[in-house]
Every structure is written in structure tokens, then in C-alpha cells.
Amino acid sequence: MDTLLAYTDWLRAQWRRHLAADPARLRLDLGPHRDARFATVGEVVRHIFGAELRYVDRIRGRPATDVSGVPSDDVEALFDFGDRSRAALVALRAEMSDDDLEAEAVYPIGAFEFQGTPRKVLIHTLIHEIRHWAQLATLLRLEGAGPGLQDFLVSPVMGGEFRRRATLRPGTESDAADAARVNVTSWRAEYRHLFSDAFLDGLSVEGRTTAMARRFGGPGYGMLVAEDADHGVVGFADWGPPRDASPHDRELFAIYVLPGHQGRGLGRRLLTEAARRMLDDGATSLMLSVFTGNPHRPFYTHLGGEEIGRETLELDGGQHEVVLYAWSHDALRRLTGAGAAPESRRR
């Protein structure tokens, strides 16, 4: 019951904002297939809150409240009434013990009666409300005035986060600046334990942009960017022929996801789609190098990378060990689930 209360509280807040933005929607006719009792959106809203109050009246054993005087075309009056009906329900529930909630009684409902527990009546009241909000949402969507996503999954009730999935697309030279920003931001966030503050803070987005832009147009070079509808480019991966002599014909130069967007499977999507594109381009194997102190090293072994050696890199006035990982042709096919459609073509 607590979950349904929280969800309907959230729904009411969404609807109050939506209808306040255009009060004329309260007068929208429900159409030829409407319930004969209600002609407009506002009348259904009044019914939602009125039913809640009348069910409280029934449980308390008093006459049902007459709600006909509540204006159905006034947003504030309607939702203020809704606040009162919800307060009455919450107060009733707080007064009742578990035994009280399970004590059967008979409740008159128009020409019918219900014999059962107050708990069932209260749960019915909340489900009744959810059903009518869904009715109104469908009607308004058909009118081109939908109230937005209102599903339980979207709500903050019981935690979780509902968000638009980041999209992957091929990078172009115009993405070099965003990729450089992601690169530099990631280094500063992830490598404070490896490099000095002076070195990390001195990294230049502009310089990195120039270096990355030069790669475009080179033979075998490719980039994928991960783009979030609200935050722009939040990750990227790029690859090409190895920079140094290697038995492998592709090198993954970089793969980064901004810290605030990690833990959502975006790195896996980037690496998998990059590998798919390399295979389509005729690649037979892939290698990359990762700092030994990189906290995300298990990511590569988890996705099938095999450690093939270690090297030392001089940087920031010191020696830093890097681990080399490689994927054979078969390993790349396993990583990509060879035969599946590219992500850009999935629906």
C-alpha cells in the first residue's frame, strides 16, 4: 500500500503541473465512448479524488461526501480537493491497526455492496486512481497533448533511474573536440593516483583535439561516439592500424566513458560495436595497451582480451607499466556475436 500511495502522490504532482500549464485541457470532451457519468477530463479528475474521499467515508461508516460542488474546470480547486482527500485516506490508515485493516465489514457502493476488509478497499481506491490517470493519459495523447511518461518504472518510487539510452554513431572530424574533452576529463578523474596534479591539470583539450582531428581520413581509422540526449557526447572509442610494429592489424587507441555515465554498459557497447566494425573492415585481430594501474583493467579480460605482454612507458617524469591485451579473430567474433545486426541497425 505504501508503494501505491507514493506512486499516486507522484502521479498527482505530474498531472497538476501538466494541467496547470494548459487549464483548458480540463474541459476536453471525453468523446463518444466515454463513461456516461463524466463528460470532460476535469470531471474524471474530480471523480478520482471524490471516490477516494467516499471510500474513506464508507470505512468510517458515515454518509458519502457530496463532491458535486468542486469545480471541474479549475486546476487549483481540483487538486486542493485532491490534497484533502489524500489527507483523509492517510489519516484513516494511520489510525487503523493491522487487525482493523483485516476486519471484514459490508460497504454499500451504489446499488451494490462489498463484503471484505478495509485493506482491500484502500488498495482498490489507489488502483482505481491509477486506472483513471491512464485513461486520461491515453485520451490526451490521442489529442496530441500527452502528459509525458507516467509509467511506474519512470517514477522515483522504489528507486532506480529511468533515462534515455545513449546512442552510438560513427565519429567525424567535427567530434574531435568532444572526444578530446572526454579523454582529458577521464584522465583527470581516473589517474590522480598515477600522475601528478601538475601533469593532469596541464593536459590540453585543444592540443588533444588537434591530434585527434589529424587521425580522420587516415587508412583504416575509425571512431564511435556515444551521445546522450541531455549531455551530448559522453564516451568514444577509436582505432586504426597499430602505431608500432605489431602482429595484430588493429589497435584500439582509446575507449573512454565520462565518470558520471559509467556502470551503464556503455563501455561494453562501444567496444563491441567497434570490434564489429573492424571485422566488417577485414580486421583479423585487435590489440590495446592499458596502464597497469587503470582501475578498469578487468573490463578487458571480462570481454575476452588476453594479456600478451607488458611494457614500460616514460611519462610525467617517471616509468609507467602498461599491459598489452589482444583479441584473436575468433575472440572478436565471440565478442560481437558475429552474425548479429550492427547496433546502428537494430530497433
Residues 206-231: pLDDT tens digits?
999 999 999 998 899 999 999 998 89
DSSP, collapsed to helix, strand or coil, labels residue 131 as: helix
Give the confidence band of 132 by pLDDT, cuts at 50, 70, 90.
very high
The segment(s) of the chain belonging to CATH 3.40.630.30 are 167-345
pLDDT tens for 134-149 read 999 999 998 888 888 8
Tell how strand 167-170 and strand 112-116 pair up: unpaired
Distance CA(24)–CA(244), nearest Å, equals: 68
**pLDDT over 90 for what percent of the chain?**
85
Q: What is the pLDDT of residue 343?
A: 62
Nearest Cα neighbor of 316 from 199, 145, 179, 238 is 199
| CB distance 204 to 274 below 8 Å | no
Grid look-up 533515462 returns: 163
Q: Closest Cα partner for 78 from 47, 122, 38? A: 47
pLDDT at 135: 93
On whether the CB atoms of residues 104 and 119 are closer than 8 A, the answer is no
What's the confidence (pLDDT) of residue 37?
Answer: 87
Give the C-alpha separation, 9 to 7, whole Å: 5
**pLDDT tens-digit readout, 48-88:** 999 999 999 999 999 999 999 999 999 999 999 999 999 99
Burial class (CB in 10 A: 0-12, 13-18, 19+), 118: buried
Residues of the chain with CATH 1.20.120.450: 2-142
Average pLDDT of the chain is 93
How much is the pLDDT for 34? 79
pLDDT of residue 189: 94
Please state, in angstroms and as integers, the Cα–Cα distance from residue 248 to each residue in 93, 110, 152, 224, 324, following that order: 69, 79, 49, 20, 12
**Amino acid found at 54:** R
pLDDT per residue over 6-24, tens digit each? 999 999 999 999 999 999 9
Task: Kindly state the average pLDDT of the residues 154-158.
Answer: 94
pLDDT confidence of residue 342? 60
| Inter-residue contact 44 to 137 (CB < 8 Å) | no
Distances (CA, A) of 153 to 7, 125, 158, 229, 302: 10, 21, 9, 19, 30
Q: Does domain 167-345 have CATH number 3.40.630.30?
A: yes
Instruction: Dihedral sign for Cα 60, 63, 68, 71, please.
Output: negative
Q: What is the pLDDT of residue 341?
A: 53
What are the pLDDT digits (tens) for 299-343?
999 999 999 999 999 999 999 999 999 999 999 999 998 755 566
Please tell me the CATH superfamily of domain 2-142, with its number.
dinb family like domain (1.20.120.450)
**What pLDDT was estimated at residue 346?**
45
